[in-house]
Amino acid sequence: MQPFKTERILRVLIGILLGTFVYVIFDAVHERIIGVGDSAPGFSIRTDNGRTITARDFGGKLLVLNFWATWCPPCISELPSLDRFSEEFSDSGVVVLAISVDKDEKIYRRFLERAQPGFLTARDPEAKISGDYGTFKYPETYIIDTNGKVVRKLIADQDWTDERIVTDVKSLLRSSPT
């Protein structure tokens, strides 16, 4: 009778271990991709101007969170219009934060010296923050409202001066709770 009980306990333990193993593998492989309507993942990053910024540090403003890299031609082509957009909306309650996933800091710094964007920039060489958003294609931009909800997700480069984007952002500002 004793060998049967031991065998049964071993089978149950093996079943539990196998279930746990499958769950761990699934969880590791299954990436969460943030979309419109989701809560924006929290983050903390030191910007290039020395400020430490968190996802909640925007004081009731709309956050345009752009993930990019210097090695990404579409990212580079959208930066001038993003800069003009940032300038146009800076007094309207919009903050632009562009987080680069560049690993090479020297190349990143040289690029910023030439481009001199007028919005907040930061570098996340391990792509931790973009990974938390499920971003794997650059550029990718999230517009996050004052409640921390993603209200727009834009994949690929944009013309930020396009009237449709400008009108959409203005409507988001009007509907944004204060």
CB proximity list for 82: less than 8 A, separation 6 or greater: 64, 66, 96, 98, 117, 119, 158, 160
CA-wise closest residue to 128 among 34, 43, 24, 66: 43
Asked if 75 is an active-site residue, the reply is yes
Of these residues, 75, 98, 99, 144, which one is catalytic? 75
Whether 102 is catalytic is no
Residues 6+ apart with CB under 8 A from 90: 118
Q: Which of 40, 62, 63, 72 is catalytic?
A: 72
- The set of catalytic residues is 72, 75
